[in-house]
A and B are shown apart, each in its own frame.
Chain A
């Protein structure tokens, strides 16, 4: 290898990178160690490369790009979850049951209303254009957002679930009422809690103990606390979900 050949190779060398372990540079580096002229050229070449690299890295970076990319995960993962056939099947089956007049008669008005509520929330979750309206907020910011948007800032979450933090939130309209959606993502799972005023579902009587429903991989839990109805839908296992409530 002569000096020109070494220069051609070394002009591509990037210090502090994996090039140091790349065998194609080894011989040229050895030659640079022996040839003072080549060594001086190499020093100047690297200094110029560093100056250009610094300018390239100085290009302006959109301040919200990172948060948008992180939000994309929540939205796309959520879509994938809800678009799984089992979720669609469940929504369809609930709708089918609601359509059965005999079932309506047996279940009673309150159960029908609760069923309608669940279906509506499932539909809201299927709306992927804006699954959450606000995200990346700490607790005070979340409460402030919910206050400003007439949601339910005084919601109370089970402590173990609350530890995971609310990923994002949204206000869902249901039969003229406002329902707060709180989105959670953790441990590879996804869950939404819908918070509604109990007065908006008159006749629905729920206790503080969650009422679980299991249908395939769909797990829901519904309970009432301090004048509010909480409806949780998640893709966690039943045992995992119960451990959070």
Chain B
């Protein structure tokens, strides 16, 4: 299938903002996020034959962006992979009102503290861009794993945000007790 002009313009109009948000969550850098987004659309233009069904353009774009990101990451210096464990039993109390009062920047920074394996499904969850089946295909893991990672990621984000919220009114140094990390490989 070739992506014609109408398809492409619709794909840009409908998905580019969420793709950029997703890219920003992965790269943590606005310039890299823009570059990743553009690269994904560029590949849609040049490799549209890979998209067999127009209805799958969105998931194809998200998957492509993620794979481009992973490909580039392999060429970069490797850092120890921090894995979240055990946080699901220590979810702190956090209200929607607290989150609403916080700057978006603070929440986004908190999101960046979560390792990529967990951050990716969490961002996709909030963007509501893909079904769980599509997420599982994209991440190349079973649906159950996506949901497990999501559960841990939500707990971790709440722990970090709770600590940030507390730090505003209390101290500049807040230990994040709920967030434990180790160097084990995630499931």
Contacts and interface: CB of A to CB of B under 8 A. Distances in A.
Interface residues of A, number: 41
Contacts of B151: 8, 11-12
Interface string A59-75: 11110011011101100
A51 B12 contact: no
B143 A24 contact: yes
Interface stretch (B65-73, B76-84, B123-131): B123-131
A62 B30 CA distance: 9
Contact of A48 (B13, B20, B30, B96): B96
Contact of B20 (A53, A65, A77, A185): A65
A73 B8 contact: yes
A1 B149 CA distance: 21
B96 A59 contact: no
Nearest to B21: A59
Contacts of A59: 21, 24, 104, 108
Contact of B45 (A18, A52, A72): A72
Given A70-B12, A72-B42, A24 B132 contact: yes
A9 interface: yes
Interface stretch (B33-41, B168-176, B177-185): B33-41
Given A22-B132, A51-B100, A55-B102, A65 B21 contact: no
B26 interface: no
A48 B92 CA distance: 12
Interface string A172-193: 0000000000000110100000
A47 interface: yes
B16 interface: yes
Contacts of A66: 12-13, 16
A62 B108 contact: no
Contacts of B30: 60, 62
A49 interface: yes
Given A12-B125, A22-B132, A55 B99 contact: yes
Interface-central residue, A22, A44, A47, A59, by most chain B CB under 10 Å: A59
Nearest to A185: B5
Contact of B41 (A9, A69, A80): A69
A65 B128 CA distance: 21
**Which secondary structure characterizes the binding site on chain B?**
helix
B67 to A, nearest CB: 19
B141 interface: no
Contacts of B125: 12, 14, 49
B87 interface: no
A61 B104 CA distance: 13
B50 interface: no
B26 to A, nearest CB: 13
Given A48-B95, A188-B4, A77 B21 contact: no
Interface in B141-175: 143, 147, 150-151, 154, 157-158
A80 B125 CA distance: 37
Nearest to A11: B151
B99 A51 contact: yes
A84 interface: no
A11 B150 contact: yes
B16 A69 contact: yes
A56 B45 contact: no
B139 interface: no
Interface of A: 8-9, 11-12, 14, 16-19, 22, 24, 44, 47-62, 65-66, 68-70, 72-73, 76-77, 80, 185-186, 188
Minimum-distance CB pairs A-B, first 5: A51-B99, A58-B104, A55-B107, A51-B96, A53-B126
Interface of B: 4-5, 8-9, 12-13, 16-17, 20-21, 24-25, 30, 34, 37-38, 41-42, 45-46, 94-97, 99-100, 102, 104, 107-108, 111, 123, 125-128, 131-132, 143, 147, 150-151, 154, 157-158
